[in-house]
């Protein structure tokens, strides 16, 4: 077995390669297509590189939101959720899973703006079990993202592929281009967004929309996420069941239950403005 510090060095080296290659791509795009925003889509529950460092070179961050798929499986991580939780939330996704990633990628973006690059529109094909979402979940996930500050919710994919690896991965449309459930709910969200815009515009025009009060320090909590801590605990875990991503999500869930709005921060970030950190 390799020396633990050598294994940690390899994690750091591998992460640095991702960071440097992303920066190289950003540099090339900026040089040949200046004054355009540049982004990248991160994955849920993916801790193999330091995403904080990758995000530093991007205009803003996006991620792929698959609440059902990542409640059932975490793609290489040991189980984050118990069997009971997987069964309970099989058709809705764990209630804090998407929310945690909204707050993570909002804080990872330099301007606190983020997108959902891929929103789950129906059953996927890559988890251990792939049920269809409960009625209304695509709409709920969309509004949850907007409530956490997302500028865009983009659904993957437009049409369920009739060929290759993702034939069993749902889209907004079925293979024959007839609307699937996801499209019906996405259209409902689009109509509701237009209604909200009109209501806000009306209240702004007549002066009945007050100034945004924001969230006080007494309502806000900070949760520090250190990707290197995951690498260290993977190399030398405290115990067989120890799971750093699961621990982070458990703390996040506790903060939410206490009524806090949570910022997920990198190591070394200032904490003096938070009621709980």
What would the pLDDT profile of 109-121 be if each residue is shown by its tens digit?
989 999 999 999 9
Q: What is the pLDDT of residue 34?
A: 95
Q: What is the pLDDT of residue 78?
A: 67
Q: Are 138 and 121 spatial neighbours (Cβ–Cβ below 8 Å)? A: yes
Phi, psi of 83 (to 5 degrees): -60, -40
DSSP letters, 149-167, are: TEEEEEES-SB--SSSTTT
Which residues lie closer than 8 Å to 275 by C-beta, 6 or more apart? 217, 218, 219, 220, 221, 260
Q: Which residues of the chain have pLDDT under 70?
A: 76-78, 210-217
Q: What is the pLDDT of residue 240?
A: 84
Q: What is the pLDDT of residue 153?
A: 98
CA distance 148 to 199: 20
If you search the block for the tokens 């988890």, which residue do you land on? 127
Q: Are 160 and 170 spatial neighbours (Cβ–Cβ below 8 Å)? A: yes
Q: Are 255 and 219 spatial neighbours (Cβ–Cβ below 8 Å)? A: no
**pTM, rounded to two decimals:** 0.93
pLDDT tens, position by position, 213-258: 555 557 899 999 999 999 999 999 988 888 999 999 999 999 999 9
């Amino acid at each position: 077995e390799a020396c633990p510090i050598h294994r940690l060095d390899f994690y750091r080296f591998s992460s640095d390669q991702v960071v440097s290659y992303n920066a190289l791509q950003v540099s090339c795009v900026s040089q040949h297509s200046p004054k355009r925003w540049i982004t990248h889509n991160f994955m849920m529950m993916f801790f193999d590189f330091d995403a904080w460092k990758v995000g530093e070179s991007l205009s803003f961050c996006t991620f792929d939101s698959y609440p059902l798929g990542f409640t059932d499986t975490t793609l290489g991580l040991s189980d984050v959720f118990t069997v009971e939780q997987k069964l309970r939330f099989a058709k809705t996704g764990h209630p804090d899973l998407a929310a945690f990633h909204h707050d993570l990628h909002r804080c990872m973006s330099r301007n606190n703006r983020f997108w959902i690059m891929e929103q789950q529109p129906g059953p996927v094909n890559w988890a251990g079990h792939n049920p269809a979402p409960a009625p209304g979940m695509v709409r709920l996930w969309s509004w949850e993202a907007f409530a956490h500050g997302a500028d865009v919710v983009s659904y993957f994919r437009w049409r369920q592929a009739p060929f290759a690896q993702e034939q069993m991965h749902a889209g907004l449309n079925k293979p024959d281009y007839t609307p699937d459930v996801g499209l019906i709910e996405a259209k409902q969200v689009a109509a509701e967004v237009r209604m909200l815009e009109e209501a806000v515009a009306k209240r702004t025009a007549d002066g009945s929309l007050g100034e945004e009060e924001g969230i006080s320090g007494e309502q806000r909590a900070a949760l520090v996420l250190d990707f290197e801590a995951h690498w260290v605990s993977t190399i030398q875990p405290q115990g067989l069941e120890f799971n750093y991503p699961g621990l982070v999500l458990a703390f996040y869930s506790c903060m939410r239950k206490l009524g806090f709005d949570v910022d997920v921060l990198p190591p070394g970030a200032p904490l003096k403005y938070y009621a709980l950190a």
